[in-house]
Structure 1
Amino acid sequence: MKKALLVTLLASTLGLGATAVHAESESSDKRGHGYSKHKDGKHHGKRGGKRHGGAHKMQRIAKKLGLTEAQQAEIKTLREAQKEEHKALREEMKAFREKMKALDTSSADYDSQVAALADEKANFERKRFIQKSTARQAFMNVLTEEQRATLKTMKEERKNRRGKRHSK
């Protein structure tokens, strides 16, 4: 009799525990915490699938700056051209990483190989820096003086918001 009572008590405890865990995981999904299925049954990670860049970011900036259709078209053309340049740089960086992986640490001329790769990496970073600067200049040339001032204000506000978040 004692064994039957013990088994029944144990089974009901386990059942209630499993139910509580399941209910908690469902409620955490509804609150947006943790990983869960959201839109269209797809997993979108902890942020719920929000994307913070690319075209969406450009649309928000265009709206805040009050860009004309002509300005938006010109910026879109610039971005497409920059994509191709960036793709070439990514391929170059991929080849560089393969060279790094292929290095033999036991080789007699390992130090000279590392020095040569360091020079190659410096040249790559120089190209990337120049590309970014040229792209920034081209973007800024599309804007009017008022839009540049608005953009500067937006950047300062964003910097201040970041500072407040990181100081906590």
Structure 2
Amino acid sequence: MSQRLFMRVWVFVSLLVFLAACASPPAIQGTDRSAFSRTGRFAVTVTEPGTAPQAVQGGFAWRDSGQTQQLDLANPMGSVLARVEISPARAVLIRSDGSREVAPDADALLAQVVGTDMPIRGLKQWLQGEVDTAAAQVTRGENGRPTALVSNGWAVTLSRYDTEGPRMLVLERRHDAQQVRVRLVVDGA
């Protein structure tokens, strides 16, 4: 194989790998056709003085059927690493190896697993372009949709709306010296 042909093949394969790395997991299926669902990508960065920033990224799939929610978290290649199942009675994290962790609610579960608070309870409303009950300092755009708010210590920016809700959400929180930034980009319903 000539060097020129080899380079073309290498560029093509590299492009395919890059595109696969941006993959979202498939939408979560269910029997309730009226359920709200979103798929997309996430990036979480935690910074603290004196340490290197910690970052993780991947894909997500969210399904909300009213009383229950499911959240799949995937690696950048799209393989589901864990599922969070939320009901009024409890929240369960199920890892791909079958191991489980249980907590009274989603916020407590993620704090237990990740080691820092994550606003899952508010995320349910924010993904739909709604304001949660704890929200303050709400800013709305010309169309009346929320574009920014503060809720339970989280500064939330919502933008790029489609008919279902915002396609970009940025959540930031400072607690003591720790800063957490979560960025969600919605790819589809």
TM-score (norm 2): 0.21
Give 1 or 2 for the bigger CA radius of gyration.
Answer: 1
Structure with more of its chain in strand, by fraction? 2
Structure with more of its chain in helix, by fraction? 1
TM-score (norm 1): 0.23
